[in-house]
Amino acid sequence: MASGRTLVIVPTFDERESIQVILPRVLATGVDVLVVDDSSPDGTGAVVASLAASEPRLSLLTRTSKDGIGPAYLAGFAWGLERGYDVLVELDADGSHPPEDIPRLLAELADPAVGGVIGSRWVPGGRVVGWPLYRRLISRGGSWYARGMLGLGVRDVTAGFRAYRASVLRAVHLEDVESHGYCFQIDMTRRIAGAGYRLVEVPIVFRDRELGESKMSGAIVVEAMLKVTGWGALELWAKAISGLRRDASADRRPGGRFPK
């Protein structure tokens, strides 16, 4: 298992019922927990604050606006990094990510070459329970498209159950991340892989939520498609420019293809 202090970040919006079920399971793994609540109208924040009054390993960060899971995680990362945590974990509040698998993710970080670990639905041993076919197709199709456009080796690019070394998060310029919806996970994947860090996938059983309502929407899917397409186009352009510069440099060298 990775050494050092671990913080599990759980973003919430109207998760009053599910948060009371998931928090004891997360705390049972021996980690600290930060709930990042976007001022939930259903009183999720008040429930967490009440629980935190008697649990020193539980903290609440309340944000005044609901602008997506990406900014919520970025706020949680900043909170954890300021307090010197060594590992930061992403976990959904709805129970779809099994907290009991947190130690499995942390164990992979024992290898110093590993910068991040993903709880993956789409590697051998991973599976999804309770999702209709269209949700499976959206998730698999999104991962396939992002992998192809961005040249990523990760199979579950949109997975939201992750563990990162704090040193890696400090190195990838989080201040430049502008993704709001679930494309935030794709953005983090490409940034970490692009910085040369290794990402490991651990198979998990992902279960559809039993309480509350899904936050997935058509706008989230469209944002992801547009951003991935834009990132892919920029990478292709950068490679093309780099190739042209190499050719021009070769032409100018003595013995180049077109010596003058």
Domain annotation for the chain: domains and CATH numbers: 6-251 (3.90.550.10)
pLDDT tens string 65-83 = 888 899 999 999 999 999 9
Poorest-pLDDT segment among 109-123, 173-187, 246-260: 246-260
The more confidently predicted of residues 12 and 244 is 12
Strands 114-120 and 32-37 turn out to be unpaired
Residue with tokens 């935190």: 52
Alpha carbons 243 and 87: distance in angstroms, whole number = 38
Question: What count of Cα atoms within 13 Å lies in the side-chain half-sphere of residue 32?
Answer: 18
Q: What is the residue type of 197?
A: Y
pLDDT at 250: 53
In DSSP notation, 33-99 reads EEEEE---TTSHHHHHHHHHTT-TTEEEEE-S----HHHHHHHHHHHHHHTT-SEEEE--TTS-S-G
Angle at 155 between CA 152 and CA 157, to 5 degrees: 70
pLDDT at 234: 62
